[in-house]
Amino acid sequence: MEEIVNIYALDSKGRGIGRINGKIIFVKNALVGEKVTLQMTKEHSKYCLGEVTSYVRKSEKRKMPKCPWFGICGGCDIMHMDYVEQLKFKEEKVRNTLANVVASSCIQPIMATNPFGYRNKVTLQVHEKLGFYEKETHQIVEVDDCLLLSSKMNFILKKVKERIPLSILKSVMIREGKYTEETLLYLQVCTTSFDFMCLKDIVTTLVVDDGEEHIVFGEGFIHERLENYLYKISPSSFFQVNTEGAIQLYTIVRNNIEKNSSLLDLYCGTGSIGIFVSSKAKAIYGVELRGSAVADAFYNKEINHIENASFVCLDTSSFTRSLKDIDVVIVDPPRSGLDKHTREYLLKEKVPKMIYVSCDIMTLKRDLEILKKNYNIESVTPVDMFPNTYHVECVCVLNRR
């Protein structure tokens, strides 16, 4: 049965919030001030989910999404908002989520990036069609031209579809060096008997994986440049998906480090942050669990002629070294945030400053509630690393009391 609902707020995922018979309903693709006719899709004891069937009254701030697959493909959530409105939504989301943890005056204005063509990595799935998963399903939406990708990445995608039989593909990953113009194509395949050299004219390097990785041509990795620093990007490397945003993010970190500081970089990955801020450091100690990432960190250290950095392959949850000689701890954990051991360890060790890079505002809130027992929260700066989605990255600076 269809219902007419007034939308009075947005939730953290950018969904409209209304009420039906006193119960909250979350509605995709609905904005504040809109009146919508909707179909209820799920009902829980405390809330409902619904989808718009028609708009009785539209918001003046609504815009027509440029992507014809918006609302179907699982990639974008808030493309129906003007980009200025997206930024307002994300900054307000950070303020509301951290309201009981961080003083409002400590939250800085959000930093914007280019809303289109920003991604340097994309993974597409194959099941009779090549594309992205539909929202909340494993159905494939065939997308010919993704607006979050550059024209070069969309061209590569088009050529893969033209030249490689879908019957031998499982997934397709494309990585691009925005400032080096190098491209990497990684194909999960059923067989390596196909002549993949037919792709040699469209990418810098090709790796195919039939259960074991094979470099077909090129070096099997590419490089990206952030300011004057060069980074190796392997197929499995973690690297911020928004290159412009990564420079903004890392610049905030660097600006909050005093000259000649000793740094501990936990969850350091391939050493991207440590290397970017190395001009401020007396010494950098990077800790990372994945051996391949640590190997890439040493490679990045060498190609950038960084002499004050060292890296160790170790789980941060088992790291127990005394931090008496450390001035700043940098943490860039996964979406799950800091593990319990690391939180307790950082509370115990008397490090003057911590810089927390977070990709999930809810786990950041949880960790800050614990860390503020011994730390003052100096600032939180949101960075829009993922335009047209509800995700937002933050850099939080904490000083030891």
Q: Where are the domains of the chain?
A: 2-62, 86-114+242-400, 121-223
327, 261 in Cβ contact below 8 A?
A: yes
Burial class (CB in 10 A: 0-12, 13-18, 19+), 241: middle
Rounded to an integer, what distance in angstroms lies between the CA atom of residue 245 and that of residue 18? Answer: 34
* The Cα angle at residue 207 between residues 168 and 157, in degrees rounded to 5: 65
- A 10 A CB-CB count for 119 gives 22
Contact of 265 with 273, CB cutoff 8 Å? yes
Separation between Cα atoms, residue 106 and residue 344, nearest integer Å: 24
Residues 300 and 292: their CA atoms lie apart, in Å, by 12
Model's pTM, two decimal places?
Answer: 0.93
Please state the length of the chain. 401
CA 134 to chain centre: 19
pLDDT in tens, the chain (401 residues): 688 999 999 999 999 999 988 899 999 999 999 999 999 888 888 899 999 999 999 999 999 999 999 988 888 999 999 999 999 999 999 999 999 999 999 999 999 999 999 999 999 999 888 999 887 788 899 988 999 999 999 999 999 999 999 999 999 999 999 999 999 999 999 998 999 999 999 999 999 999 999 999 999 999 999 999 999 999 988 899 999 999 999 999 999 999 999 999 999 999 999 999 999 999 999 999 889 899 999 999 999 999 999 999 988 888 777 788 899 999 999 999 999 999 998 998 889 999 999 999 999 999 999 999 999 999 999 999 999 999 999 999 999 98
The CA distance from 230 to 176, in Å, is 14
Interatomic CA distance for residues 172 and 126, integer angstroms? 8
User: Can you give the pLDDT at residue 1?
Assistant: 67
Q: How far apart are CA 27 and CA 5, in angstroms?
A: 10
**What is the Cβ-side half-sphere exposure of residue 295, based on CA atoms within 13 angstroms?**
7
- CATH architecture under which domain 121-223 falls: Beta Barrel (2.40)
The CATH label, of 3.40.50.740, 2.40.50.140, 2.60.40.10, 3.40.50.800, for the domain at 2-62 is 2.40.50.140
Do 2-62 and 121-223 fold alike per CATH?
Answer: yes
CATH architecture of 86-114+242-400: 3-Layer(aba) Sandwich (3.40)
Contact 280, 301 (CB under 8 A): no
User: 340-348: long-range contacts at Cβ-Cβ below 8 A with a sequence spacing of 24 or more?
Assistant: 341/316, 341/317, 342/266, 342/316, 342/317, 343/367, 343/370, 343/371, 345/319, 345/320, 346/371, 347/371, 347/373, 347/374
Between CA 141 and CA 147 the distance in angstroms is: 15
